[in-house]
Structure 1
Amino acid sequence: MIPVNYRAPWATLLLLQCAVLVPATAYGGLNEPQRIIQQVSDGLMRVLREDRNLLKTDPGYVHRLVDELFLPHVDVPRVSALALGPYWRDATPEQRRVFQAEFQRLLIQTYSSALDALSSWDIRFLPMQLEPGATRTLVRTEIQQPGGQPVRVDYRMAYSDGRWRAYDVAVQEISLLASYRNQFTSVAQRRGIDGLLEELTTRNNTRR
């Protein structure tokens, strides 16, 4: 069975992505990958201020919000391949299609279920160099919660099809993509790819 913490990594990613409180005037000092994280977070903050009641009463609105606001900035095909690890190579085209579709459903449901837990945090972008023509980069940040210690959060992003998208985040140097891969491969080792797809589909259907 897929463990209860199956959703935790991407829920954590959502909470940390939405913690940005840097004013819009600071955009000029950020490079493109940093600006994407900033702008997505600012967009959600506006929704949380203006549509809090709707978020609590209309699950369909929440899912549409996540689909439109977050997923365009997540490289779902890349994340899917990396999350399935060596089993991606062995999977048939149909198995890959089903896995990616169910994994995307999982992301939408995970993001949606995390919205109620959002609170205000501060974020500091750490120095980074984005080389001309680079297709991968690491956006390093520290997130500060009132009364707590700074939390180190690093976003791995890739450039393809004319845009930067996230494919992993590490919290205190713990990769959330690796956490997903460990859980997926554990199920696939016991039940095969079809067994993994069955468990993933069942969990998604029961958490609508």
Structure 2
Amino acid sequence: MKKLLVAVLALCVMTVAYGQSAKSGPNDVVKDAVEATVKAAKADPAARDGDLKATIKVVETNFLPYTDFRRTTRIAVGQAWNTATPDQQKQLFEQFQQLLVNTYALQLTQVRGQAVKFKIDPAQLGANGKDAVVQSDVSGINDDLQVGYRLGLTDDGWKIYDIDMGGAWLIRVYQQQFAGQLAQGGVDALIKFLVDHNARVAQ
């Protein structure tokens, strides 16, 4: 009887969680992701003053849960992803995700101060209903940042998998760079490129 009760309660929790996720549209996901990240950055004195390492930690904690950067990695790496070993795929994903976090954090450091405001435009849904683009505007005292987000509908709800900063979608930008590294030395060369890039930021 006790086991049955636990099972019923677990099912209820799962049902509620699924219902909440299903109601969260792409606009809600972007709004929640940006709000959580900006709020945390404003609350952290170092991040608020533009410290990159502090901002990276804020992004890792508050922004990553809303993303599907494994999909991002798979698309950016292209055909080489399918031929990579599981360990290589793991390294590619972890290093590229860190690069994306660093890039997003670097842009966020440009918008400083307590008076940070943001605006989210209505989502533009794809024809299949499983892809969406949401444009946002984040403004601070000295700068204004326009960021676009591409989201895909997953079993866990809408997830961000591509970001447009400065008029360029990151997947497209890195596809070109990755193709060059893969042509020169294969997957291991690309992994080294990512590791070296992230190491420079960590210094």
Question: TM-score by structure 1 length?
Answer: 0.67
CA RMSD of aligned residues (A): 3.4
Distance 1:118 1:159, change over 3 A: same
Aligned 1:102-181 pairs, distance under 5 A: 102-118=95-111, 120=116, 123-126=119-122, 128=124, 134=129, 136-141=130-135, 143=137, 154-170=148-164, 174-181=168-175
Rg larger in 1 or in 2? 2
Q: Tell me, in whole angstroms, the C-alpha distance in 1 between the residues paired with 2:145 and 2:55.
A: 27
Q: Tell me, in whole angstroms, the C-alpha distance in 2 between the residues paired with 1:56 and 1:139.
A: 30
Out of 14, 34, 40, the residue aligned to residue 41 of structure 1 is 34
Instruction: Report Cα offsets for 1:108-138 as digits up to 9, x if no partner.
Output: 332333332115465351464589x94x222
Contact 2:76 2:171 in 1 (8 A): yes
Residue type at the aligned position of 1:178: R
C-alpha displacement of 1:40: 1.8
Out of 194, 202, 206, the residue aligned to residue 200 of structure 2 is 206
- Structure 2 unaligned residues grouped into runs of 5+: 1-22
C-alpha displacement of 1:57: 8.8
C-alpha displacement of 1:203: 2.1
Distance 1:180 1:36, change over 3 A: same
Residue of structure 2 equivalent to 1:27: none
Contact 1:81 1:88 in 2 (8 A): yes
Question: TM-score by structure 2 length?
Answer: 0.69
C-alpha displacement of 1:197: 1.0
Partner secondary structure for residue 165 of structure 1: strand
C-alpha displacement of 1:58: 7.4
Residue of structure 1 equivalent to 2:10: none
Out of 52, 59, 69, the residue aligned to residue 66 of structure 1 is 59
Distance 1:57 1:179, change over 3 A: closer
More deviation in 83-92 or 114-123? 114-123
Residue of structure 2 equivalent to 1:182: 176
Partner secondary structure for residue 117 of structure 1: coil
Aligned length: 174
Distance 1:188 1:155, change over 3 A: same
Distance 1:204 1:54, change over 3 A: closer
Q: Tell me, in whole angstroms, the C-alpha distance in 2 between the residues paired with 1:161 and 1:31.
A: 13
Contact 1:87 1:185 in 2 (8 A): no
